[in-house]
Amino acid sequence: MKTFASEPRMNPPETAAKTTSDVTSAETAHPTMIEVENLDFYYGQARALQEVSIRIPANKVTAFIGPSGCGKSTLLRCFNRMNDLVDVARIGAGAIKVHGVDINHPDVDVIALRRQVGMVFQKSNPFPKSIYENITYGLQIQGINDRRKLDEVVEKSLRGAALWDEVKDRLSASGMGLSGGQQQRLCIARAIAVEPSIILMDEPCSALDPIATSKVEELIQQLKGKYTIVIVTHNMQQAGRCSDETAFFYLGKLIEFSKTEKIFTNPAQKQTEDYITGRFG
Amino acid sequence: MSLFWEQQLADIREQLLMMSGLTERNLSLAMRALVERDDKLCDLVEAEDTTIDQLEIQIDEMVITYMATHGPIAKDCRLMLTASKISNNLERIADQATKIVRRARELNTEPLLKPLIDIPLMADIAQEMLRDSITAFVDGNNELAVEIIARDRSVDNINKQLARELTSYMIESPKTITRALNLMTISGAIERVADHATNIAEEVFYLNRGQDIRHDESMKHASSGGDPR
């Protein structure tokens, strides 16, 4: 059984996993990074996801959209097993594979999985530590304490998150003292410091002003060549601007999954059109 | 329940319909001015053209305001693009009506070169194409839109036939050159009206289906009422 315990950063598979289904795949020949098959997910008795099948392409930005309660954040949290932390949450049926590995298999090391599948939340949540320590925290708990190595990672991560120039002279200052947009980019820098292959973003810009939002969106574009990004957003324009593929969820079901330009210009499903044009939801 | 922004979309459509009504009327008046040799109608058509020009500007302002403030998506986005293009085509049709009356005024100073048969026939087809293209827009009727595109060929054919006939007049008698050239210009203007009506029909198809059929030769040969999809 393949586990994530000793995995280096996962690269996308060589071959494309092409599917004939319009719903599960956005008609792309890109390699699949995350594969969900007939997933049913429950909170207690309530079925939050119903027979969801989707293939998330590697090194692209995939947006999840849909009205509140449609299951998009639930699915996102399934990808790094964040739902394990919710007592009543359980998978009823189906499977989720990340890089071909069933992430819910008992042999899978959840910590290693989360190292591979980083997450950025709606509200920026820097640790109450210095900017430097925020970045190095993940490495230090892995036992990496070589100062030169840590310095390298801090600079690389902050540069990767387009934050280096703004904070390079105050790395010892508290991360909590940064602006909202800077804090969010610090969280992204912290996520990429451990070299994940996937970054999950749950409404990462909902608390940011337009300028900070623009910086994060620009960053997403820069990161997508290196990371597979899945973003949940209620902002239709943001989904349109940032993503390559878009999945629309409604009442726990995946209604439509297609290239973003298709979804936002000529969606196949009336429900999708009604939602993105603001006629319901 | 109608949302406030749906009312704004309805306002754009309504303005477009008003513009199309005035354009149809102006084109019809231009043809009457030609056939009835009425200079007063010519003046009226020229005066009305300014109103149509202003409506084009107003519609573009409404479209840009809606796009900037609402960020329309999918069909709403296509409606914005389509509204602007349809109003542009209507404005050009109105310009053709103005061109017709300017030539009609010159023709009115001399005896008729020949009975006006082909030009009114062409104008009837072109006017019907225009009327139907707006009907297709209002009703979301793609079949009608495709049918209009196919009709454009008949107008082209009459225009070519008339050009040949008028050329023979000019060869036979140089005294007819001015009148023949004026009639050729009018014929060409009507042919352009049919082209603009075709453009509107193509925009209507794009609006409803999200499929761009401009420059698709197969559409010009599509049978009446046929849907290419």
pLDDT for residue B227: 35
pLDDT for residue B226 is more than 50:
no
Q: For residue range B27-43, what is the model confidence (pLDDT) as tens digits?
A: 999 999 999 999 999 99
Query: Which of B3, B5, B210 is opposite residue A265, by nearest beta carbon?
Result: B210
Mean pLDDT of B139-148: 95
Q: What is the CATH number of the domain that holds A86?
A: 3.40.50.300
**Average confidence score pLDDT of chain A:** 89
**Beta-carbon separation of A276 and B210 below 8 A:** no
Q: Is the pTM of this model over 0.90?
A: no
Q: How many residues does chain B have?
A: 229
Pull the structure tokens for residue A38.
């007939």
Mean pLDDT of A249-271: 95
CB-CB neighbors (< 8 A) of B76 in chain A: 277
Domain borders along chain B are 4-220
Q: How far is A279 from chain B (nearest CA, A)?
A: 8
Alpha-helix residue ranges (DSSP H) falling in chain A: 72-78, 110-116, 131-141, 147-160, 164-167, 180-193, 210-223, 236-242, 260-265, 270-276
Q: Does domain B4-220 have CATH number 3.40.50.150?
A: no
Q: For residue range B151-166, what is the model confidence (pLDDT) as tens digits?
A: 999 999 999 999 999 9
End-to-end CA distance of chain A, in Å? 42
pLDDT for residue A57 is more than 70:
yes
Q: For residue range A18-43, what is the model confidence (pLDDT) as tens digits?
A: 333 456 766 656 799 999 999 999 99
The three-point CA angle A111-A71-A260 to 5° equals 95
pLDDT for residue A209: 87
Q: For residue range A130-147, what is the model confidence (pLDDT) as tens digits?
A: 999 999 999 998 899 999
**Beta-carbon separation of B73 and A276 below 8 A:** yes
**Any domain includes A133:** no
8 Å CB contact between B100 and B31: yes
**Any domain includes A143:** no
pLDDT for residue B222: 63
Q: What ipTM is given for this predicted complex?
A: 0.71
pLDDT for residue A220: 93
Q: Could you give the count of Cα atoms lying within 13 Å of A252 in the half-sphere of its Cβ?
A: 12
Q: Which domain holds residue A79?
A: 32-124+197-276
pLDDT for residue B225: 38
* Whole-number Å distance between alpha carbons of B26 and B30: 6
pLDDT for residue B221 is more than 90:
no
pLDDT for residue B46 is more than 50:
yes
Residue A80 pLDDT level (bands cut at 50, 70, 90):
very high
The answer, for A132 touching chain B at a CB cutoff of 8 Å, is no
* Whole-number Å distance between alpha carbons of A120 and A118: 7
**Any domain includes A99:** yes
Q: For residue range B157-200, what is the model confidence (pLDDT) as tens digits?
A: 999 999 999 999 999 999 999 999 999 999 999 999 999 999 99
- Whose tokens are 């598979």? That residue is A13
Domain count for chain A, please give it.
1
pLDDT for residue A5: 52
pLDDT for residue B2: 54
Q: For residue range A144-192, what is the model confidence (pLDDT) as tens digits?
A: 999 999 999 999 999 999 999 999 999 999 999 999 999 999 999 999 9
* Position with higher pLDDT, A5 vs B25: B25
| AA identity, residue B211 | Q
pLDDT for residue A113 is more than 70:
yes
The answer, for B115 touching chain A at a CB cutoff of 8 Å, is no
- Burial grade of B2 (CB within 10 A; 0-12, 13-18, 19 or more): exposed
Pull the structure tokens for residue A263.
């979804």
